[in-house]
Structure 1
Amino acid sequence: MDKKEFSVLIKYCFLKGKNTVEAKTWLNADFRDTAPRKSTIKDWYPKFRYSEMSTEDGERSGWPKEVVILRKYI
């Protein structure tokens, strides 16, 4: 599963009233190898708690999404 799908599952756990430990246990049971880390779950819960119900990641400063590599030919 990709990051977007896991954020939806984390939101589901939040809306069902599970705490972060219960959410991590539930995700580990079904997605043992690919489940998000506990810190990821802890990052999403406050967003949902403060009514930011979008499961999309926000914009971040830093490197652009697209990078152009210029090659110098000798």
Structure 2
Amino acid sequence: MDKKEIRLLINYCFLKGKNTVEAKTSFNAEFPDTTPGKSTIKDWYAKFRRGEMSTEGGERSGRPKEVVIDENI
């Protein structure tokens, strides 16, 4: 299961009114090999409570996507 699917399932639990402990328990029961961590579930619940309902990952700082070749140097 990829990250997008896990986020969608966390969102589903949130919309069903489950708390983070109930969500973690249901993940353990249904998907024991791909259960997200407790902190991951808490972080996504916090985003959903703030109204950020998108399940897409955000922008990250770091190395640019362009390739370093001799022409770019």
Q: Same fold (TM over 0.5)?
A: yes
Give deviations 1:9-59, integer Å, cap 9, x for gaps. Answer: 000000011000000000111110111111110110011001110000110
What runs of 5+ residues in structure 2 fail to find an aligned partner? Answer: none
- 2:3 aligned partner: 3
Shift of residue 67 of structure 1? 6.6
- 2:20 aligned partner: 20
**Mapping of residues 27-46 of structure 1, within 5 Å:** 27-46=27-46
- Structure 1 segments of 4+ aligned residues over 3 angstroms from their partners: 66-70
Shift of residue 62 of structure 1? 1.2
Q: What's the C-alpha RMSD, in Å, of the aligned pairs?
A: 1.4
What runs of 5+ residues in structure 1 fail to find an aligned partner? Answer: none
Percent identical: 72
Matched length: 69
TM-score (norm 1): 0.84
Could you tell me how far apart the structure 2 residues matched to 1:24 and 1:11 are?
Answer: 12
